[in-house]
Amino acid sequence: MVDAPSKPFDIAPVTIEDEMRRSYLDYAMSVIVARALPDVRDGLKPVHRRILYAMKENGYDWNRAYRKSARIVGDVMGKYHPHGDTAIYDAMVRMAQDFSMRLPLIDGQGNFGSMDGDRPAAMRYTEVRLARSAEALLEDIDRDTVDFQPNYDDTSREPMVLPARYPNLLVNGAGGIAVGMATNIPPHNLAEVIDACCAIIADPSLDDIGLMDIVPGPDFPTGGTIVGRRGIREAYLGGRGSITIRSKATIEEIRKDREAIVVTEIPYQVNKSRMMERIAETVQEKLIDGISELRDESDRDGVRVVIELKRDANPEVVLKQLYRFTPLETTFGINMLALDAGRPVQMGLRRVLDCFLAFREEVVSRRTAFELAKARERAHILLGLALSVANLDEVIALIRAAPDPASARAGLLARAWPIHDIGPLIALIDEPGHPVVDETYRLSEDQARAILELRLQRLTGLERDKIAEELRTIVAQIGEYLDILRSRPRRLEIIRDELLAVREQFETPRRTVIDEVEDETDLEDLIKPEPMVVTVSHGGYIKRTPLVTYRAQRRGGKGRSGMATRDEDFVSQVFVAGTHAPVLFFTSLGKVYLLKVWRLPPGNPTSRGKPMVQLLPLDTKAGERVTSVLALPEDREAHHGRSLMFATSTGNVRRNDLADFTNVKANGKIAMRLEEEGERLVGVVLCDESQDVLLATRGGKCIRFPVPEVRLFQSRTSTGVRGVRLAGDDEVIDISILRHVEADAGTRAAYLRRAAQERRSPGEGDGTVEDVAAPDTEEGADADAAAPERLLSDEEFLELAANDDLILTVTANGFGKRTSAYEYRVTRRGGSGIANIATSARNGSVVSAFPVAADAEIMLVTDGGQVIRMPVGDIRLAGRSTQGVILLRVADGERVVSAALLPAEADEAGDGAAVDGIAPDAPAPEAAAPETPTPDGTAVPPDSDPS
């Protein structure tokens, strides 16, 4: 016999694109639905749901003994979750971590990991049981409240969702990455979420804004502070948003003159150990300055990270830097994506709560229907028992006459029993298939079996009354259940009562604080605006000191220490600028760097400061060093129309727009090209085209020319043009900006003579013109001397006086004078200049020359570190070629190296109080001041001018 040919295979061509698309979608949906995303109803993923159900099924309740984790993992993997044991154990561990779950669902015993990222102990060592909060998720699961499905091998059944009594999705949050989508839901406070549910029940029209008044934001188990509400609002309204979480830190004084930042709460999901490593890295990378020690003092009572600060550090600034550069402040991206009816849906706060309340209403309805069926079943049995008790004699006679139980049961079923006094109860019980006919009732199989199994003790009078009472109770319950099923308000009331019961049992205070105002301020916004004295040493050290540290003294005083110098280092520059002012650093290689004053290292008047090589990326191998420092105005609007004038030691000048240097990156930029050997930048000043430039040389010469004499250069790499012609080894030591005043030579001469007469007083010169201005010996020097004399009206004189710039000139030996700017005539750039001050052996070379106001103050610094602060008004006015008066008595071998102008209104310590333990100096009477020898050996008072 030949076998019949088998049926050919059904083969159909399929394109690879269609097959890949279908297979990928099947895989993606499997991951989305069966693994990665939580259900909006109970807030659980399948693995978490299976763990909790397996523990409930095996009786590992909160009031039972702990069981080995390995046993539970085995049960879950063998019956419900056909994946690796590691995935199951990790999920179970997370549900037991109080720093991961706002309301832990598993009560663990043993090592379940830590906030430092430590792994939990192996599952064979740890023990677990259900937490009481998990019981609220599993309660009523045996009352047909949820649907069940076959497990993976169809040997048992598992729930598709748990009948959660509270919105676990919001309370504990969720996180997961699926295929093409992800979810990241933060935890919330249980009491707030339940209050929001009750508010929706009470007012279904409540909008999202009203809900946010009840649920202000997430509540993380690790506490912390949420900065601002913008991200919360976006997440609650649209399902997506980003919030900033900041650690809780306080500033404590740990010992005298030492403070520490103590962190007691860290952002959610931040590894504390890694956070501390990052803090140490920022200190090593010099991103944060001011930290001296870091230690972890955390214990079982909570987190405590101590960040000890240096003595001169600003705690608020260091804390802000920690927030910026370390995980002490992180962002949490909220993506409220969950499964709703098996579909991934991105939803806001109101929709999540609506889905939960709809689910709870379904659970209550199904539970009520289940209880109703059970009550009716019990009422049916009780009805038979009550009927048999009411007809007790007939029932006993029938049973006694029956030869066997089957005959007795048949006899009970065959008769129609009179209902007597239980008729009203039968009317209240829905008895389909058992109608009341002619006031009689026929028993069912179950009722007949229950009558035959009735014990004799139930036939006593008391027991008969109990049967009737139980029947009446069951009938009342049936009526209650029917009312619940017919009335939605009743169901909502039950949901509300159950939510409040859960709230009362598990509520805890809010741990996360929410800052009402967005923190969009920059780090420097925390810095108090105040004037600072910036001190720069010849060796490249820099520091900032509050201006109030220095008190004003009379001229001729001894001063006070301004910087502790070492070896051959000495103070080379001092200026005053606000804490928010940008400072430009020009280097020997012609580059420029920018730092704000508050970023400079703080120091007291006697400290050395820090080397600028640690603050700026200088090329030390090429010998790059800072040669000039310039403070810019804080107000950017003041930069408009202004330019920078560069001056080199060889007499070259160059002008650039200020905008070329307001944005300097961290690695700096080219400022000016220097060609000659030994050439350096001596100054960079702000100017506009309505002003004049004054260049002063070390040899006592100066030149004044209008700013437009130097064209505006477009390049930053040019060498500029000649500003002054130098003689011999002379060099430019200062550049200043003066107001340009249109006045001829005769007018200027007349003003100078009248000014000299009006300020003449006994003991101060003889009032002649020579006391004010000596004849010039340079080219064009006779221009002013030959000017015709004229008389000035009071109005002309006052106008000229209002526009007068007084030039203060300071020499190395501590002498100086003020000179009217009208004595410096305006010429063309490139000349050899005119006399500025007599550079005699007494005076020494010129150190600085710049304009000052009559009510201002100056600060003089010596190479020995001595500093004196004095009012400008104490310094005598004199002519250009005079020698001036003593300003600072320098020690032998010491010389003045820098002079800085201080605004008079910046003096906040004018009371002369002692600073750093130095007693205030009493102003010495001028008559008692020591006399100063002149070059010819005669002695002159300190107020007089030897010239």
- Say which DSSP state 523 is in: G
Domain of 643, CATH number, reads 2.120.10.90
Q: How far apart are CA 642 and CA 656, in angstroms?
A: 9
Residues 500, 643 within the same domain: no
Boundary (domain end) residue, out of 164, 194, 224: 194
Q: Buried b vs exposed e over 360-387: b needs ≥16 C-beta within 10 Å?
A: bbebbebbbbbbbeebbebbbbbbbbbb
211, 212, 218, 224: CA torsion to nearest 10: -150
Residues 52, 180 within the same domain: yes
Residue 569: its pLDDT value, please? 60
Residues 630, 539 within the same domain: yes
Residue 607: its pLDDT value, please? 81
Cβ neighbors of 783 (< 8 A, separation 6 or more) are 745, 825
Residue 787: its pLDDT value, please? 55
- Say which DSSP state 334 is in: E
Distances from the Cα of 184 to the Cα of 82, 106, 170, 178, 203, angstroms = 25, 21, 11, 11, 29
Is-contact 712 654, C-beta < 8 A?
Answer: no
* Residue 550 domain-assigned (yes or no): yes
13, 16, 19, 21: CA torsion to nearest 10: -150
Is 166 annotated in the active site? Answer: no
Residue that the structure tokens 């979810």 belong to: 183
Q: Please give the full DSSP string across 173-217, using - where no structure is assigned.
A: -EEEE-SS-EEEE----HHHHHHHHHHHHH-TT--HHHHHHHS-S
Residues 452, 419 within the same domain: yes
Residues 499, 547 within the same domain: no
- 145: domain range? 24-194
Specify the amino acid at residue 566: R
Give bridge partners of residue 691 from the DSSP assignment.
Answer: 739
Q: Please give the full DSSP string across 2-46, using - where no structure is assigned.
A: PPPPPPPP------HHHHHHHHHHHHHHHHIIIIIS-BTTT---H
What total of structural domains would you count in the chain? 4
Q: How far apart are CA 280 and CA 287, in angstroms?
A: 10
Q: What is the rounded end-to-end Cα distance, in angstroms, of the chain?
A: 146
* Residue 927 domain-assigned (yes or no): no
Residues 613, 680 within the same domain: yes
The encoded tokens of residue 784 equal 């002013």
Residue 561: its pLDDT value, please? 58
Domain of 41, CATH number, reads 3.90.199.10
Residue 28: its pLDDT value, please? 75
Is-contact 849 734, C-beta < 8 A?
Answer: yes
Query: Which of 60, 125, 268, 541 is labelled catalytic?
Result: 125
Stretches where the chain sits below pLDDT 70 are 1-9, 420-438, 461-462, 517-528, 538, 551-572, 636-639, 759-790, 902-947
* Residue 852 domain-assigned (yes or no): yes
Residues 500, 535 within the same domain: no
Residue 526: its pLDDT value, please? 61
Q: How far apart are CA 322 and CA 282, in angstroms?
A: 9
Domain of 488, CATH number, reads 1.10.268.10
Interstrand relation of 513-515 and 225-227 (parallel, antiparallel or unpaired): parallel
User: In a 3-state reduction of DSSP, which class is residue 454?
Assistant: coil
Q: Buried b vs exposed e over 232-252: b needs ≥16 C-beta within 10 Å?
A: bbbbbbebbbebbbbbbbeee
* Residues, the chain: 947
* Residue 1 domain-assigned (yes or no): no
* Residue 758 domain-assigned (yes or no): no
Residue 919: its pLDDT value, please? 30
* Residue 730 domain-assigned (yes or no): yes
Residue 20: its pLDDT value, please? 85
Residues 149, 266 within the same domain: no
* Residue 407 domain-assigned (yes or no): yes
Residues 175, 321 within the same domain: no
Domain of 293, CATH number, reads 3.30.1360.40
Residues 407, 322 within the same domain: no
Closest among 554, 731, 580 to 647, alpha carbons compared = 731
Residues 452, 571 within the same domain: no
* Residue 942 domain-assigned (yes or no): no
Count Cα neighbours of 571 within 13 Å in the Cβ-side half-sphere.
33
The encoded tokens of residue 316 equal 């608020």
The encoded tokens of residue 904 equal 């008079």
Residues 820, 881 within the same domain: yes
